[in-house]
Structure 1
Amino acid sequence: MEGASPATFRPTNQQVLGHGLYLGVLGAVASVTVGVIAALFWSGPPGWIWPMLVLGPLLTGAAVGAVAGRRTGVEVGECGIRTSSVFEEGVAPWHRVVDLRAERRGSRNVVSVYLDSGVSVQLHAPYSGGLFAADPQFEFKVFTLSHLWRSHRFGGLPG
């Protein structure tokens, strides 16, 4: 695999949108709750503020989700499997990977990498779930990851 470009897996646009909307809804619920509490103890905020309390966090959450989604991913190359997200990065060298498989975790199908130390690492992508988390190419991506791992583990990529 000398000089070959690494395979990269990132959340789909639909997954990024779903994550952003999730963050936005949480923010909107928090801001409306603060607005209701403020209205109970002090004079109520003006009427135009309520749509802002909902739309502001929704749009902010969508933007944060888009940025975070583009930063999250997995890069598979000569050295091994490199994961990256907003908060952490890690590398699992090929010689430490003893198994790679798709598993059900909660409501999602995820890819887990098992290392020789007994540690299981859940990859940030690919994954598949319901509604916005669905990835129609999940099985193909798992097959590709498995093929790359087996090729490195058992003797190079075919010519």
Structure 2
Amino acid sequence: MEGASPATFRPTWQQGLGHGLYLGVLGAVASVTTGVMTALLWSGPPGWTWAALIVAPLLVGAVAGLLAGRRTGVEVGDRGIRTSSVFEEGLAPWSRVVDLRAERRGRRTVVSVYLDSGASVQLHAPYSGGLFAADPQFELKVCALSHLWRSHRFGGLPG
């Protein structure tokens, strides 16, 4: 099956939105803190400015999270498992993968890939957690990943 299209796993839109809102809240805290410091040193800004200092970072964060979620993910193909995110990319060839399993890390369940060197790589997707991080199809995605790994590890994809 040389020409088979790779399986792709990406964060759900809710997970991307959750990441973005988290960053937006951090941005809103920073902008409101700057506004308070400015108000203490000089005259206070108009009332509508405070709403803009809160809402603008939240909107920017939400859009950025949704866009970054489209760039982040895992592609499983003939050559191995390719991970990509906004800041980095990596490839784990099938010959180096010795185990693949779902593990609890903090408040999330993630997929970890163990390599023959003893190192482990946490995949960017799929994962599942609470609230915005929940993925209702997480178990199906882990089963699909496990099936693909076992198929490549023990004799190729069934034809």
Please give the TM-score of this superposition, normalised by the length of structure 1.
0.98
CA deviation string 1:30-65 (max 9, x = no partner): 101111111112111111211110111011101111
Query: How much does 1:110 deviate?
Result: 0.2
CA deviation string 1:101-139 (max 9, x = no partner): 000000000000000111100000000000000000001
Q: Give SS of 2:22's match.
A: helix
Structure 2, unmatched stretches of 5+, are none
Using the alignment, how far apart are the partners of 1:23 and 1:53 within structure 2?
Answer: 14
Structure 1, unmatched stretches of 5+, are none
Using the alignment, how far apart are the partners of 2:136 and 2:48 within structure 1?
Answer: 41
CA deviation string 1:58-106 (max 9, x = no partner): 1110111111111000000000000000000000000000000000000
Percentage of matched positions with identical amino acids? 83
Over the aligned positions, Cα root-mean-square deviation in angstroms equals 0.7
1:86 corresponds in structure 2 to 86
Runs of 4+ in 1 over 3 A off after TM superposition: none
Q: Give SS of 1:63's match.
A: helix
In structure 1, give the amino acid aligned to 2:146: S
In structure 1, give the amino acid aligned to 2:57: P
1:2 corresponds in structure 2 to 2
In structure 2, give the amino acid aligned to 1:52: A
- The number of residue pairs the alignment matches comes to 159
